[in-house]
Structure 1
Amino acid sequence: MKAAILSAFGKPLEIGNVPDPGIGTGEVLVDVVAAPVLSYAGEVFSGARRYLLPTPVVPGCGAIGRVRAVGPDATRLQPGDWVFCDPTVRSRDGADTPDITLQGWSARGEGGEKLQRYFRDGAFAERIRVPTENAAAIGPIEAAEAGSWCAINTLLIAYGGLLAGGFRPGETLLVSGATGHFGAATVALGLAMGARRVLAPGRNAVVLDDLRARFGDRLVPVRLSSDEAADRRAMRDAAGGPIDCVQDFLPPSVPASVARTAIMTLRQGGRAVLMGGVGMLGGEDLALPYPWIMRNLVTVRGQWMYDAAAVPGLVGLIRGGLLDLRQWSVTAFPLADANAAVAYAAADAGPFKLTVLMP
């Protein structure tokens, strides 16, 4: 089969032939119809991000495709079924604290690297082998819709955070980092899940105006300054009531003070979920005041990726018409133009934009 191969970090992807993956018990073979090209793929392939990804490898994180063959223990999936190939592969012998690898992308820790040795190659290919539980049925779609369905890759991460934070209909959600790729997806999800109001603080006026135009009055933009106290007041005033949940997707380039300002808008008993990159490039610590957390009964938790149970819930939001994938604009490239797709994804990064390979 044809695939895009990363032979070594710092080299362009090579388009060539690799053996068809075989499958056994607990595995599914999927014909890839569309695979997302993440905006920072070039940084991964150059080695700048130092991801745990052994080369040579067929990269690619997630896909939409059709089942080609199933293992002997599959009881519901059938050849021809449309599925989302969930890249978050979990070890099966550690139910409480599973090791995780992101197939075709990276791994977490020693156990994740061990898992990666088998589920190694990703979706930049005509076919991909995934664990049976990672072939999530999405129901019938038209082939032309497959690119839009690749938005699941981003949405699942945002949805996993909202589930971890116990977000409920009727609550007010503040999305810290709302003008970014994952933050904007969180805005869309919060509204789809029945938020009373979603606050979108940021400095990018163009993106804030776009969010308001897309989602209407329940989306409230808040222009940030460099004054923590003033920004906290502005967010609380815009909420028009208690702020129940803060989800943070701020990137590593943003100082911790921006995240702290948002979190400290929470009501008594509020929850904050940290999913961004603050502090990963050094700088000041988050430094939330101990007395404030304790006296206000605030919960602060981290969340990496999502639980497997998030997948059917997200598909249900889409199928129920609560979440409209047409919000995302899609630019598609053939597999032969994988390097051009990587460059385009970096240059055209932003909220509600998708670059995909269509083998």
Structure 2
Amino acid sequence: MKAAVLKAFGSPLTIETVPDPVPGTGEVIVDIAAAGVLSYTNEVFSGARKYLLELPVIPGPGGIGRVSTVGPDATKLAIGDWVFCDPTVRARDDVLAPDITLQGWSARGPGGLKLQQHFRHGSFAQKMMVPTENVKPIGAIAASEAAQWCALTTLLVPYGGFLAANLQPGETVLVSGATGKFGSCAVAVALAMGAAHVIAPGRNQAVLADLVRRFGDRVRTVTLTGNEDDDRERMKAASPVPIDCVIDIMPPSVSTSVVRAALMTVRGCGRVVLMGGVGMLGGAGLELPYPWIMRNCITIHGVWMCPPDATVKLVQLIRAGLLRLDQFATTRFSLDQANEAVVHAAEHAGPFQMTVIQP
């Protein structure tokens, strides 16, 4: 099969013919129809993000394709099924705190790295071997729709956060990082789940205006000034009711003071979800006040990716028309153009823009 291979950090992908993956028990082969390229892929490939990723590797976190081979333990999957390849691979020998690797992307700790050594290669290839439990049926689609369904890779991240926070219909949410790619998806997902209002702070006024244009007056925007205390009060004032839940999905480059200002808008007995990259590259800690957390009974959830059943639930929101995939502007590249796709993704990192490789 043909695949894009990363051989060294800082080097371009090479397009090669490599052996087809050979499945064992508990594994499925998927013919990849489309694989999304994240906006910060260039930072991973350069080594700037310092992800645990053993090389050489076929990268690519998640993809859309059709089942071509199933193992003997698969009882529902059938050849030809359209599926999402969930990149969040969990070790099977510890149900309480499993080691995790993001297939074709990164690992969490030594155990995750060990898991990565087997479930190593990602979706920038014509075929991908995936753990049976990570092959998630999405129902019948036309082949031309596969690229749009790659939005699942981005949408599932904030959806996992809201599931952890037990977001309920009618609640009010603040999205810290609302003008970014993942944050704007968090706005869309929160509304699809029934949030009454979404408070969307940011500095990019054009993006803030676009969120209101897309979703209407349930979105309340706040232009940030950079002053932590002032911004906190401005965000609180933008909400017609106390804020039930705050999700932070800021990138590593953002100051912790910006994150802290957003998190401390949550009401007493409210929930905070941390899903961003702040602090991953060093720097000051978040420094939330202990008395504020304790006396206000604040619940803080650290969430990496999403639970195993999240894809099925998110697909139901899409099928019900509550979450629309057609709002994503999608640019397609062939596998031979993988390096161009990486550059394009970085240059088109805005909300509801998607870069896709179609092997």
Q: TM-score range by the shorter chain?
A: over 0.9
Amino acid at match of 1:351: P
- Counterpart CA distance in 2 for 1:75 and 1:37 is 31
Amino acid at match of 2:223: R
Amino acid at match of 1:214: R
SS of residue paired to 1:240: coil
- Counterpart CA distance in 2 for 1:250 and 1:39 is 14
Where does 1:37-76 land on structure 2 (aligned, <5 Å)?
37-76=37-76
- Counterpart CA distance in 2 for 1:2 and 1:282 is 38
Shift of 1:136: 0.1
Residue 244 of structure 1: aligned partner:
244
Residue 348 of structure 2: aligned partner:
348
The alignment's TM-score, normalised by the length of structure 2, stands at 0.98
Q: Which runs of 5+ in 2 are unaligned?
A: none
Residue 111 of structure 1: aligned partner:
111
Residue 333 of structure 1: aligned partner:
333
Amino acid at match of 2:93: D
- Cα 1:227–1:115, aligned 2, differ >3 Å: closer, same or farther? same
Residue 134 of structure 2: aligned partner:
134
Residue 223 of structure 1: aligned partner:
223
Shift of 1:292: 1.5
Q: Which moved more, 1:291-300 or 1:266-275?
A: 291-300
Where does 1:117-266 land on structure 2 (aligned, <5 Å)?
117-266=117-266
SS of residue paired to 2:326: helix
SS of residue paired to 1:356: strand
CA shift digits 1:176-233 (9 cap, x unpaired): 1100111111000000000010000011101101101000010111111122222222
Q: Which runs of 5+ in 1 are unaligned?
A: none
- Identity between Structure 1 and Structure 2 (%): 62
SS of residue paired to 1:139: coil
- Counterpart CA distance in 1 for 2:281 and 2:85 is 31
- Counterpart CA distance in 1 for 2:226 and 2:55 is 43
- Counterpart CA distance in 2 for 1:113 and 1:269 is 37
Residue 18 of structure 1: aligned partner:
18
Amino acid at match of 1:261: A
Residue 306 of structure 2: aligned partner:
306
Shift of 1:54: 1.5
2:49/2:281 contact within 8 Å kept? no
SS of residue paired to 2:200: strand
CA shift digits 1:105-146 (9 cap, x unpaired): 111111111111111111111000101111100000011111
- Cα 1:281–1:72, aligned 2, differ >3 Å: closer, same or farther? closer
Shift of 1:280: 2.7
* Pairwise CA RMSD: 1.0
CA shift digits 1:274-306 (9 cap, x unpaired): 111222343332222222111111111211111
- Counterpart CA distance in 2 for 1:230 and 1:196 is 25
